[in-house]
Structures are given as C-alpha cells and as structure tokens.
Structure 1
Amino acid sequence: MRTLEVLDPGRYALVEDLGRPGYAHLGVAPSGALDAASLRLANRLAGNTEAAAGIEALLGGLSVRFTAAATAAVTGPAVEVRVDGRSVGSHAPLAVRAGQTLSVGTASTGLRCYLAVSGGIAVEPVLGSRSRDVLSGIGPAPLTAGDVLPLGAPAGIPAGADVVVPAAAPADLVVPVTLGPRDDWLDEPAHGLSAWWTVTADSNRVGLRLDGTPLRRADRFAEVELPSEGVVTGAIQVPPSGLPVVFLADHPTTGGYPVAAVVRTAALGALAQARPGTRIRFRPA
C-alpha cells in the first residue's frame, strides 16, 4: 500500500482538497484549501486531477517520508524544499523514491504551502470531501507526527512547465469587493472599507479579523437587530465592534451581523496568504 508518513507536521498541517460545497442548508461550510489556485497547481505538477487532496501546511515546517516512489510538488509562496537533505526547489514536479524524506522550509512571505503527491491523499471522505473543517470538526484531524496517510493510485502524467514563478505575498493588498447585501446598515461603507485595515493574529481558516478605524452603524439601524441569514465565503461581516471579519472557507453558514460587501472569488487566494500585520484595503466595484 502506498503511504505517506508524517515525521513533523510543522506548525499546523491539514488535509485539504477543493472542499464540500452545497451543504450550507445543513450548516456545513464549503471548507477546502484556502489558496485553491496553489493546490490546483500542485496537483497538476504531481499528475493528479486538480480536486485531489493534498496537505496545507501553515508557515511550512512539514516533513514526510514516502513508502513508495511518487511524484510530489510543493506550491504556495516560494519556500525551500529538500529531499533527504538535498535542496530541490518548489513549484516543480519532484521524483521521490521509497524511503526518502521530503521537508518543507519556512516561507519568507505568505502563510500556507501546499504539498501534492501522485495519487492524492486518500483518507476517508466525509460528505464527498477529504477536507478538514476547523469550525465544525468535520474531516481528518490536524496532522501529527507518526500519522500514516494512504495514497491513491497515480492517475496521470505530471504536468511540468519550463518556469512556474511563485508569487510573493505583498505586505499591502488592495482587494476588489462587491458592496452589499447589507451595506445600507453602515454609515459610508464604501469610504470606510477603502481605508487601510491590518490583519490581526486572531485570524484563522474561519476568517480574517481586521483592525483599524471601526465602521459605524447607520443611525436608523443603531438599535435594530438583524435576523440571522446565510453568508458566503468572502463575506465581510461587521460585528458591533465595527471591526470587519472576512469569512474564509471554514466560515459559519449563517450570521446575524450585517455583511457590508463580498470579496471577489479571484482575490480569496491572496487573503489566504495574508500574514498578521498585512495591510488590506477594499476596492468596491
């Protein structure tokens, strides 16, 4: 049986695929890799379908040993990758032999690296996905040293490229958003959102928590309670503190605070790589 043994999970490592959309009516978040484009790329480089499960490693530090020959790829921010101590680089297909160890360093920018292995991580799916949902606890538990992960059968040919340039995570982000559906509950929401906000250390896969000048409720809604309603990935919810929370893949499926805007899907990957201290401003369309 082809397996992958976790020697060191690093700071925090999860099995993630492209998630389990379609279960919001059951209170289940879509989950999945926060930087979906990086997981898709890693899977293509490893010869998998883009939806195969890989490992999402927070700040790197992951180390695994292979029990069978495989093709592997590490993507996300630029990061040092070593096989049996030899530097091999990221963002390229890597031929790894049985018994060899692959280690991921710590990226100088960005937050999450992705490891894909030919055949994909074949843990038991839950509701059609192998992703971990940290809010509900659905899916495989966070990885620990000694975990042995089954691998699927290789299904394709690695998709190499002459050059795959990893994108550096910027210190400042300008994020396109669509205003609504509850922007009228706030006083000058477009102006307030376009100010600079700072990502705080309280952020996680559920959402990015931001610090800055609080948004104010419109006077006519100052004493009004909003009934809970459905929310989507990328929703910018404004709690009573006035400090926005940007919901990411493991967000609750309903919320009772006004959603001032929703981040465009194409920008979610950049938010997944935003470390605490990153400055963000929103650009309403």
Structure 2
Amino acid sequence: MIVIEESGPLATVQDLGRPGWFDSGVGPAGAADRGALRLANRLVGNPEDYAGIEVLLGGLALRAEDTVLVAVTGAPAPATVDGTPVGHAGVICLAAGQRLRLGFTRTGLRSYLGIRGGVDIAPVLGSRSYDTLSGIGPAPLRAGTEILAGPPPPDWPNIDQAPQRRPPAPLEIRALLGPRDDWFTDPAALFAGHWTVSQDIDRVGARLDRTDGPPLRRTTSAELPTEGVALGSVQVPPSGQPVVFLADHPITGGYPVVAVVLDADVDLMAQARPGERIRFRRARTA
C-alpha cells in the first residue's frame, strides 16, 4: 500500500481511458500524455493500460507501507527517496517506510507514476480514470489517500532507465485541416506564425493566444449546430483563440473545428505549459 502525504496542484488516477461511451455522453478521459503512462507501466513490468498516477507540475509526496516498485515518467519532476535524488524514467524500489517526493518540473506539465501491479481501485464504466469534466471515476488524490497496488504480473523486465525525447522549442504540432475549415476566410492562418499557450489550460483543453501571424477569422457569424468533437480537435470560439481539446474534452461542441491534431502529437500538446510557444505544421494525411 502507498499513502499520499502531499498531492501537489492536482494528482489523479489515470489509465488509458474509457472509450465507447460517447452515446451516453461520457468521454474517454485517461492519461493526457498516453505515451508517458505507457512507458511508466513498461518500466515496472505492467501491461501498458494499467492505472497509474498523473501529477500536474509536481509536488506529490508519498510513503510506501510495503515494498513496491515505481517509475516516474513524463515531465521531468526532480524525484528524491528519503531526500536522496533518484533518476527520471527509471525503476525505483521503495522499501516499507520510505518516502518518494516529486519536486516541481521546469519543463513539461504532467508527470506519471507507474506502480508495479497498477492502482487497484474499482473501475467505473471499464476504466479507473478520473474525468475532470464529468466527475466520473476516483476522486483526485489528497493527503491521507491510501493507494492499493494490484497483484504483480508474473514477469517484469530488468530496466534501469529509459530515454525520453526532448521536444523542440517552439513546440511543433502537426494537424489536419477540417472538418469545418470552410467556416474560416483563411484556415491556413492556423499554420502561419506562432501561438502561445494561455493560462487557461487543464485536462479538458488548452487555449492558445496569437503570438505573431494572421488571426483566424470566420466567413459567417451564423451559429453551428452542436456536433461531435474528437480528441485533438482545434475548436475556435468567436474570440478567435483556438482551444485544443485534450483527454477530458466534451464529446460535443457548438464552435467550428478548424483542424484536428494528429493522434501522435496529442501527447506533446498535453505537456505544453502556459507561456510556451506552439507552431502548427500542416499534415496531409493522418
């Protein structure tokens, strides 16, 4: 068992989500940076879809009540065990009574804690993920929360540390135009110049401010009927500030979607911090 002593700005249990419930008004949720969660699980020998802990910016502190293997991936929050620094994206063995503490990351936004055996908590609609938009799933972690690990898989690899790529600056995000690019006088303006991630960012989406380049202008002031929206959709409200939808995005929306971020780049977008510059690159195919 693991006991949470400090939770930081936000710490939630996440797996790879609960797809298949759009017709009931429930989005998939799941880890915002899916690749980072998959890596954390691989490091501790779990199947990639096991539940772990998503930590916003850092600040998580926990105590192991039993011997447990963990790994920290995603945003490189400095980690210590009983005050001794330990490596990022490596396997950490916590003995009973030892404390793991994550400092605050200077790059990236979300770190992931993989636990050998995964987080053992009752699934809701087939997933252990917390959805910040609907409130479905286990509540955000707080001081005193007890985390049980599930039974360990039979085999696990001996991995010391796994390399993680460092994204370029400014961050380059590939996107396909459509489905509502015809609602804009020049939809290609999305790919001109740079955007800046605003302070208005959470697991639902990231709002962008124009840094340089032409604005996104609509061809009409008419209202768009509500329609389904996908993960990575770049929705443009009347303000002209695009919102890139992330893991807890609504399943429908009433503003036109000028483009959709390639699935392979959604994880990069999930790690973008307020104030970070973004440049969209036009993709021809998914």
Normalised by the size of structure 2, how large is the TM-score? 0.94
Give the alignment of 1:21-170 within 5 angstroms: 21-161=19-159, 163-170=161-168
Match of 2:235 in 1: 237
Amino acid in structure 2 at the alignment position of 1:265:
D
For residues 66 and 122 of structure 1, the distance between their equivalents in structure 2, rounded to whole angstroms, comes to 15
SS across alignment from 1:202: strand
SS of aligned partner of 1:114: strand
Cα deviation digits, residues 144-190 of structure 1 (max 9, x gap): 10011121011143334465223335441111111100000011111
Q: Is the 8 A contact 1:42 1:91 kept in 2?
A: yes
Unpaired runs of 5+ in structure 2?
none
Amino acid at match of 2:181: D
What is the alpha-carbon distance in structure 2 between the residues aligned to residue 223 and residue 78 of structure 1?
44
CA offset at residue 214 of structure 1? 3.6
**What's the RMSD between the two structures over aligned residues?**
1.4
The 8 Å contact of residues 173 and 278 in structure 2, kept in 1 or not, is answered as: yes
Provide the C-alpha distance between the structure 2 equivalents of 1:205 and 1:69, rounded to a whole number of angstroms: 32
1:246 is matched with: 244
Q: Is the 8 A contact 2:30 2:129 kept in 1?
A: yes
In structure 1, distance between residues paired with 2:246 and 2:161 = 30
Q: How does 1:188-203 map to 2 (within 5 A)?
A: 188-203=186-201
Per the TM alignment, residue 250 of structure 1 is displaced from its structure 2 partner at its CA by 0.3
Task: List aligned pairs for 1:162-241, cutoff 5 A.
Answer: 163-212=161-210, 214-218=215-219, 222-241=220-239
1:262 paired residue number = 260
Rounded Cα–Cα distance in structure 1 between residues aligned with 2:125 and 2:86: 36
Q: 1:161 to 1:69 in 2, by over 3 A?
A: closer
2-structure distance, mates of 1:171, 1:41: 23
2:9 pairs with 1:8: no
Deviation at 1:64, TM superposition (A): 0.9
Please say which of residues 209-218 and 112-121 is displaced more in the overlay: 209-218
Seq. identity, %: 53
Report the Cα distance in structure 2 between the residues aligned to 1:163 and 1:116, rounded to whole angstroms: 14
Separation in structure 1 between the aligned mates of residue 59 and residue 156 of structure 2, nearest angstrom: 25
| 1:272 correspondence with 2:270 | yes
C-alpha spacing 1:83/1:162, structure 2 compared with 1 (3 Å) = closer
The 1-side partners of 2:37 and 2:111 are apart by 9
Q: Which moved more, 1:49-58 or 1:148-157?
A: 148-157
Q: Contact 1:198–1:211 at 8 Å: present in 2 too? A: yes
Letter in 2 for 1:223: S
Q: If the length of structure 1 is used for normalisation, what is the TM-score?
A: 0.94
- Structure 1 position 216, deviation (Å): 0.4
- Following the alignment from structure 1 to structure 2, what is the Cα–Cα distance between the partners of residues 7 and 196? 40
Kept in 2: contact 1:92–1:160 (CA 8 A): no
Q: Find the aligned partners of 2:237 and 2:193 in 1 and give their Cα distance.
A: 17
- Alignment partners' CA distance in 2, 1:11 and 1:160: 33
Partner Cα distance (1:266, 1:192) in 2: 19
C-alpha distance in 2 between matches for 1:87 and 1:118? 20
Mapped partners of 1:25, 1:193: distance in 2: 33
Preserved CA contact (<8 Å) 1:169 1:273: no
Q: How many residues align?
A: 280
Letter in 1 for 2:17: G
Q: Please give the alpha-carbon distance, in whole angstroms, between the structure 1 residues aligned to 2:221 and 2:80.
A: 58
* Counterpart contact for 2:189–2:216, Cα < 8 Å: no
Q: What one-letter code is carried by the residue in structure 1 that aligns with 2:155?
A: I
Q: How far 1:6 sits from its partner (Å)? A: 0.2
